[in-house]
């Protein structure tokens, strides 16, 4: 694999941000292997696809959990390996403990994720700009970020996978309001600072239930959704299941998966990142070449 950490100044965030980008380079050759074989080639090995100027990759925006950053995903899981064998590009931005929203304290993480990041990635890196080639997957806090982002910007993604997304955005708006008023979350001041007061949620940018309903009323083209929770995740699993049920009631294309025996930890997230890339996402598993070079 090729892996790099890109640091640049984000206008939306108002400061420098780190992004980890993974390329499936191990299955590519710098020369035409159909003509001759050389350089560490095993007997009987099939020719590899070539590097071609203008080639692109399908891209998975893989969103990290709360308390993590863009590097931890690759230190605690085998996401890089899973991406290599599926010939797909991964993009993991560092969004700290932002819940991926335009926060009430003034930092626009949602704008960063949906308006700035795709433009930067598709301009500077070999990421296909087509909706059919872009996906968003997240675990823990990142699961809610994936869910909310795909509902707010369904034009950007083919498929959304929410793994263990039990804190942050939810299509059950009353649950978010209840959390903001609870003693538990009042001891977590960042929650209130991010989302504001409970009586200000309805109809706000944090009310993704209203946005989800509006999408259906307008006939907006929607991604396919997968919501996944471990059977031992407690209230987080309940929250994920409730989100899945609500979206189904609205008429969304949703698959809910209860992962038997899994807890809220990297054992689950590693395994379901693998399942997402190996089995769930509709990946081409090959580079996308310019028409003139196919």
Which pLDDT score, from 0 to 100, does residue 30 have? Answer: 86
Q: What's the confidence (pLDDT) of residue 126? A: 97
- From the list 24, 29, 15, 4, the residue with the least C-alpha distance to 124 is 4
Closest to 147 measured CA to CA, from 237, 74, 240 = 240
Which residues span the domain enclosing 90? 2-293
Kindly give the pairing relationship between strand 224-230 and strand 159-163.
Answer: parallel
Q: Please, is 213 exposed, middle or buried when counting C-beta atoms within 10 Å of its C-beta (0-12, 13-18, 19+)?
A: middle
pLDDT tens, residue order, the chain (294 aa): 899 999 999 999 999 999 999 999 998 988 887 776 666 666 667 778 889 999 999 999 999 999 999 999 999 999 999 999 999 999 999 999 999 999 999 999 999 999 999 999 999 999 999 999 999 999 999 999 999 999 999 999 999 999 999 889 999 999 999 999 999 888 889 999 999 999 999 999 999 999 999 999 999 999 999 999 999 999 999 999 999 999 999 999 999 999 999 999 999 999 999 999 999 999 999 999 998 444
**pLDDT (0 to 100) of residue 31:** 82
60 and 88 in contact (C-beta within 8 Å)? yes
d(CA 187, CA 182): 9
User: Six-digit token pair at 23?
Assistant: 């390329």
Contact 78, 271 (CB under 8 A): no
DSSP H or E segment with residue 256: strand 254-259
pTM, whole model, 2 decimals?
0.95
How many domains, in total, are found in the chain?
Answer: 1
DSSP label at 208?
H
pLDDT of residue 185: 86
DSSP H stretches of helix in 153-234: 173-181, 183-186, 189-195, 208-218
DSSP for residue 25: G
Cβ-contact 110, 205 below 8 angstroms = yes
Q: For position 219, which CATH number holds?
A: 3.40.50.1820
- Which strands sit side by side in the sheet containing 15-23, from one edge to the other? 2-10, 15-23, 89-93, 59-63, 134-139, 159-163, 224-230, 254-259
The answer to whether 189 and 250 have CB atoms below 8 angstroms apart is: no
Nearest by Cα to 157 from 223, 89, 63, 59: 223
Do 246 and 172 meet the contact criterion of CB atoms below 8 Å apart? yes
């Amino acid at each position: 694999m090729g892996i790099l950490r890109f640091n640049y100044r984000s206008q939306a965030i108002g400061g420098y941000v780190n992004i980890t980008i993974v390329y499936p380079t191990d299955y590519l050759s710098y020369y035409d292997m159909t003509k001759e074989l050389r350089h560490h080639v095993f007997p009987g090995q099939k020719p590899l696809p070539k590097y071609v100027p203008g080639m692109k990759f399908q891209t998975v925006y893989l969103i990290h959990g709360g308390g993590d950053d863009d590097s931890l995903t690759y230190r605690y899981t085998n996401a890089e390996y899973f991406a290599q064998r599926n010939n797909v590009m991964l993009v993991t931005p560092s969004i700290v403990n932002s819940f991926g929203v335009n926060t009430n304290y003034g930092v626009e993480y949602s704008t960063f994720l949906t308006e700035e990041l795709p433009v930067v990635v598709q301009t500077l890196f070999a990421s296909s700009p087509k909706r059919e080639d872009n996906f968003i997957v997240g675990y823990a806090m990142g699961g809610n970020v994936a869910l909310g982002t795909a509902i707010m910007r369904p034009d950007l993604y083919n498929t959304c996978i929410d793994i263990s997304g039990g804190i942050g955005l939810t299509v059950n708006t009353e649950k978010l309001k209840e959390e903001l008023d609870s003693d538990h979350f009042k001891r977590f001041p960042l929650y209130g600072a991010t989302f504001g007061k409970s009586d200000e949620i309805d109809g706000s940018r944090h009310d993704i239930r209203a946005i989800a309903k509006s999408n259906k009323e307008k006939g907006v083209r929607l991604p396919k959704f997968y919501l996944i929770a471990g059977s031992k995740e407690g209230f987080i699993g309940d929250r994920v299941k409730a989100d899945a049920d609500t979206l189904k009631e609205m008429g969304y294309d949703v698959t809910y998966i209860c992962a038997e025996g899994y807890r809220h930890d990297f054992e689950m997230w590693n395994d379901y990142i693998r399942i997402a890339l190996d089995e769930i996402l509709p990946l081409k598993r090959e580079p996308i070449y310019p028409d003139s070079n196919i």
